[in-house]
Amino acid sequence: MTALTDADRKKLAVDFCGLSLATPLVLLSGCVGFGEEYTRVEGFSNRDVGAVCLKGTTLEPRLGNPAHRVAETPAGMLNAIGLQNPGADHVVNKILPALDFSETRFIANVSGSTVEEYIEVTRRFDDSPIDAIEINISCPNVKEGGVAFGNDPDMSAQVVAACRAVTKKPLITKLSPNQTDIAGNARRCIEAGSDAFAVINTLMGMAIDTGTRAPVIGNNQGGLSGPAIKPIALLMVHKVYQVCKTHNIPIIGQGGVTTANDALEFLIAGASAVGIGTALFYDPLVCKTINRGILDYLRQHDIAHVSQLTGSLILHGQGTPGCSAG
């Protein structure tokens, strides 16, 4: 596959919270480790992606959940890694210095069990070269904190406000789909200081071994990702965009993206960038294909820049198709 030309890159480059992303594609947290693993894949280049979200990081090291941690499901996968990581100090002092910040943007993923832990981890990343900070308030595979924060608007806003107070870096809130009013939660997070959203995190799910009559996942339940959740994720992005568009708050749309058409759907629904996750496990070079597909679509529809697709959804009975920027 031929490399992107300078003209191609101009069409794909997007502004996200003041950060210049080379393409609208973002590698999602938990899918690329701490950013250095994929540089070993032949043919992979960080220049093909706009940003890389690092693995979820807590204040102290965590061993994660017991096995099994991953289970394949129809059109997706369950995972319950349990936020295994070496701790914030190790990530900041040992891992970040080894990353090439000239190639792409790197986003930290802050996780915790208490508001105080979120504050301390955010504070450490604020005093680092990291480009932005994603607050993981919606992790469905840990027993404490995690999904409880993300499903309660008051707690979500409390965590965002606490992190906002200790960093000036762009703050991205990762929203849970396991709640009744995701748009209302987004509104509260904007009021608390969130600069952007990642929509959505995985859905809670389970797989059962009928031979043993026990859950396949050692944590009993885990986060469902992959193509199975894409229709839900698209609707969630559309709902959150209705809140975000009046505040100029960008969204990373994510959930089951495996093709260029998937990415285009998220952009049209309201996303400014598109997250790639589960697809990387079976096609580490999928971003090259998706970038090419987006460019082909722009040419076919005589659209000058990918940003013109964001929020260009035409609901039935509301006019003729067109792009948000003309």
What the block records as the tokens of 20 is: 């210049």
What the block records as the tokens of 91 is: 């990530």
Q: Active site residue: 17, 139, 189, 287, which one?
A: 139
Number of neighbours of residue 194 by Cβ within 10 angstroms = 26
Q: How far is CA 95 from CA 34, 91, 98, 255, in A?
A: 7, 5, 6, 27
Residues 6+ apart with CB under 8 A from 160: 135, 137, 171, 173, 189, 192, 193, 194
Residues 6+ apart with CB under 8 A from 290: 25, 257, 259, 260, 263, 274, 276
Residue 45 backbone dihedrals phi, psi, to 5 degrees: -140, 135
Residue 11 backbone dihedrals phi, psi, to 5 degrees: -75, -25
Active site annotation includes 139: yes
Gap between the Cα atoms of 157 and 185, Å rounded: 8
Q: What counts of helices (H) and strands (E) characterise the chain?
A: 9, 16
Q: Which residues are catalytic?
A: 139
